[in-house]
Amino acid sequence: MPTKIKFGVFLPFYVFKTEKMTQHLFNQLRDVALECEKLGYHSVWLDDHLMLKKTSILECWTTLSALSTVTKKIRLGTMVTCNSFRNPALLAKMAATLDNISNGRLELGIGAGVQQSEHNAYGFPFPSAKTRIERLNEAVQIIKNMWTQEKTSYNGKHYRIKDAVCKPKPVQKPHPPIVICGGGEKLTLKVTAQHANRYDWGYLKSFEDYKRKLDVLKKHCNAVDRRFDEIEKSCWPAGQTFIGDDKQELEQKVMQWVPEGVSLDDFVKTNFVGTPKDYIQNIRPYMNLGVTQFMLFFGDLPDLTGLKIFAKNVIPVIT
């Protein structure tokens, strides 16, 4: 398992607010992704939504393909691909194609899907959580098989394919990392134990919650006879990250992002507001647990201030 600490940057489309043409939306995203690459971040991650109220949103996979042609080394991930939106055999082909275009830089984050309104609007079924997770389990099996086998046939409860060929194969061997996303302890973590190279539970309220979920995942690994340490540990230390050299000045600045009716004290309970030194102290306990991937959602995006302060004052100290 990797030991180097990595920092990934979440770039949801809804932070790139623009009244200009849609091309300007991609240009903003591209510029931030290029800055992340220049500053030494490990990866950038796009959300997979088809609609979010009236916000302009680009489709995740076609956007990643465009980003792969203007970047050179930063890794490109989905946080997270909604399994319901695409047939898994087609998704395997799309992902293999992107891995080839990017010369082996894809990270596949995938989840069962949670936004019922999107499914209804676009005509996708939205069955029970149990069924969606069953479908996720089958989908990941199909994707892995198509990436590694000459021909793939699968006859499951929810998906069936026959002699499907996926060529060219992904550049990464045996295949690109698969990140199972979602923290449901009875069903989703079982899928994680079976198939994930890394997990992603999103933001958890406390370090104790994180440790408890690790224990649950370990039990699932034991049940499916898989080594727990084969799965890379990932963490969101905060909902959003606001970082600055002067904490008092930063707290005044952050007030512009605090939702109406929410106090600063309540806001900082779920978001990080502090200095680089504060951040390093906050993640030490997670590092001691063996966490090697930290996910970051900079709350001041598309402004690059936080991104640059973090890269200058945290990444060199930690990595």
CB 181 within 8 A of CB 200: yes
> What pLDDT sits at residue 56?
87
For residues 253 and 263, what is the distance between their CA atoms, to the nearest angstrom? 14
Report the CATH number at residue 81.
3.20.20.30
For residues 213 and 186, what is the distance between their CA atoms, to the nearest angstrom? 11
Question: Shortest CA distance to 131 belongs to which of 179, 189, 78, 84?
Answer: 84
* Coil, strand or helix at 11: coil
Write out pLDDT tens, residues 8-17: 999 999 888 7
What type of residue is 217?
L
Q: Specify the DSSP element, H or E, that contains 195.
A: helix 188-195
Would you give the DSSP letter of residue 200? Answer: E
Residue 99 lies in a domain: yes
Question: 271 lies in which domain range?
Answer: 6-318
Write out pLDDT tens, residues 19-39: 665 668 999 999 999 999 999
> What pLDDT sits at residue 22?
66
> What pLDDT sits at residue 52?
87
Residue 1 lies in a domain: no
For residues 20 and 78, what is the distance between their CA atoms, to the nearest angstrom? 25
Look at 6-20, 142-156, 209-223, 268-282 and tell me which has the smallest mean pLDDT. Answer: 6-20
pTM of the shown model = 0.95
Q: In angstroms, how far is the first alpha carbon of the chain from the final one?
A: 16
Q: Please tell me whether the peptide bond between 174 and the residue prior to it is cis, using omega within 30 degrees of 0.
A: yes
Domain count, the chain: 1
Residues in the chain: 319
For residues 292 and 168, what is the distance between their CA atoms, to the nearest angstrom? 31
Q: Specify the DSSP element, H or E, that contains 206.
A: none
Q: Distances from the Cα of 213 to the Cαs of 138, 177, 220, in angstroms?
A: 23, 21, 11
Write out pLDDT tens, residues 113-129: 999 999 999 999 999 99
Supply 12's token pair.
């949801």
Residue 259 lies in a domain: yes
Backbone φ and ψ of 93, nearest 5°: -65, -45
Write out pLDDT tens, residues 256-266: 999 999 998 99
Write out pLDDT tens, residues 290-313: 999 999 999 999 999 999 999 999
Residue 126: how many CA atoms within 13 Å on its side-chain side?
Answer: 12
Question: Shortest CA distance to 178 belongs to which of 265, 110, 237, 103?
Answer: 110
